[in-house]
Chains A and B, each alone.
Chain A
Amino acid sequence: MKDGQVVKGIQFKNHEIVGDIIDLASRYNYEGADELVFYDITASPDRRSVDRKWINLVAKEINIPFCVAGGIKTIADAEEVLNYGADKISINTPALKNPDLIEQLAKRFGSQCIVVGIDSFAIKKDYKVHLYTGDPDQSKESNKTTNSWINEVQDRGAGEIVLNCMNQDGVRKGYDIDQLREMRNLCKVPLIASGGAGKMSDFYDVFNQADVSGSLAASVFHKKIIDILDLKKYLQQKQIEVRL
């Protein structure tokens, strides 16, 4: 999401516009997506919060849960997003800047609606958390390893973790199975795989080999490379439990 449009980049750069928010949300709702996630990628680097009017329009349109991410820095930000009709909020950079925020949000709204997004960059098997990833000029490494941050956010009350493997983002070469499998073992809460889906077998592999609770993808759906219903039928044939 950037300026009211849905955009998608490659490894967090060179974003192109892929469609109007409401049209896309209702298409995915209709095609059988189990949940939608909206990232306002410009929110944190611009030091501003999300423009939230569109959340209400999405909530009126779709009948599946959805999560909003981007620049939620305070209880008041979160409350506004949830009041507009989002089911969950996802925090990333603000959680790294102020880890207490996770506890505060979990205590106020319940862990079930607090998702922590983690952007993890791999250098061989060394996984580091990055922040401000919405803007290529500001994106930088934090001082945390992905492993330690995954443990910490759960201790602080995160109800779900979306792990975005940055090396894989937008390149459609498959999920980072090794990393996801390693992190799955640290997770007591649902772990959602993100980054790298390119073909249907990538989804099968990530469920089958990394045992993740869910998989998140953008490019392949935005560009109509994969149809959600076809994907779910394929996964069901391969004995992966899906809602059809």
Chain B
Amino acid sequence: MPKNTIAIVNAGGSNISSLTFALDRLKANYTTTNQIAQIEDSSHVILPGVGAAYDAMGKLKKSNLIEVVKNLKQPTLGICLGMQLLLEYSMENNVNCLSIIEGGCKAFTQQDKYPVPHMGWNNVKFNKISPLTEGLKSEDYFYFVHSYYVPISDSAIGITDYSESFTSIIQKDNFYGTQFHPEKSSDQGSKLLRTFINL
């Protein structure tokens, strides 16, 4: 593995082309892998989120990646479901997650003005300073697609209002997560990804 290579953890053939195209636009080096050594030796790790929590945890387990991811010391970014996996549990099929960050993940309830999934552009208020959001403007817009959310906790560094206010950016030590898709969030999203790969 060359230095400064990002490992995109893909334990099960999910479609991550939007993410890899975004990294291509940033001219980043990355590899898509489920190999323990490649993940451990990388400079940065991205845990993309496609599909359901139960399937994603099952695939990580099958590839023996649960302890590997929990013990990562390099900057690690979970995107969408990938962020939700960093928590202790998800109420999506009541699945145990990685337990890197305290808390869990709940379902939105369908309400008249707030369809589920929450889909589209929404703004993110930065409630704490974090290296990940440096250079970005609080209340900038990002692109969301999700039916489950992480309630606000001490680890929240970005908050978004929908039918509930929820954690849209999270951080604990070297672990970061965004509920939105930075790879689809125009220039602000590209900036955030660039900041991450330069951490």
Interface residues of A (CB under 8 A from B): 29, 32, 34, 56, 59-60, 63-65, 82-85, 87, 110-113, 159-160, 188-190, 213-214, 243
Contact = CB atoms under 8 A, between A and B. Distances in A.
A243 B183 CA distance: 17
Given A32-B186, A82-B15, 17 more contacts: A56-B17, A59-B17, A59-B18, A59-B21, A60-B21, A63-B186, A63-B187, A63-B189, A64-B143, A64-B185, A64-B186, A85-B18, A85-B21, A87-B184, A188-B115, A214-B120, A243-B141
10 contacts: A32-B186, A59-B21, A60-B24, A63-B187, A63-B189, A65-B143, A84-B17, A85-B21, A112-B117, A243-B121
B17 A64 contact: no
Contacts of A213: 120
B120 A190 contact: yes
B15 A64 contact: no
Q: Top 3 closest A-B pairs, CB basis?
A: A243-B141, A112-B117, A85-B17
Contacts of B143: 64-65
B22 interface: yes
Nearest to B123: A243
Nearest to A111: B117
Given A85-B21, A159-B117, A112 B145 contact: yes
Interface of A is mostly: loop
Contacts of A56: 17
Nearest to B190: A63
Interface in B111-152: 112, 115, 117, 119-121, 123, 141, 143, 145, 147
Size class of the contact patch on chain B: 20 to 34
A86 B37 CA distance: 32
A110 to B, nearest CB: 7
A83 B14 CA distance: 9
B115 A34 contact: no
Interface of B: 15, 17-18, 21-22, 24-25, 110, 112, 115, 117, 119-121, 123, 141, 143, 145, 147, 183-187, 189-190
A189 B183 contact: no
A159 B147 CA distance: 12
Q: Which of A29, A34, A65 counts the most B-chain CB atoms under 10 A from its CB?
A: A65
A190 B121 contact: no
Contacts of A29: 186
B186 A83 contact: no
Contact of B115 (A65, A83, A85, A190): A190
Contact of A188 (B24, B110, B183, B187): B110
A87 B186 CA distance: 14
Given A63-B187, A112-B145, A188 B21 contact: no
A87 B24 CA distance: 18
Nearest to A56: B17
A65 to B, nearest CB: 5
B15 A63 contact: no
A193 to B, nearest CB: 15
A59 B24 CA distance: 11
A63 B185 contact: yes
Contacts of A63: 22, 25, 183-187, 189-190
A112 B119 contact: yes
A190 B17 contact: no
Contact of B17 (A65, A83, A112, A189): A83
B141 A64 contact: no
A159 B119 contact: yes
A85 B24 CA distance: 14
Contacts of A59: 17-18, 21
A78 B73 CA distance: 39
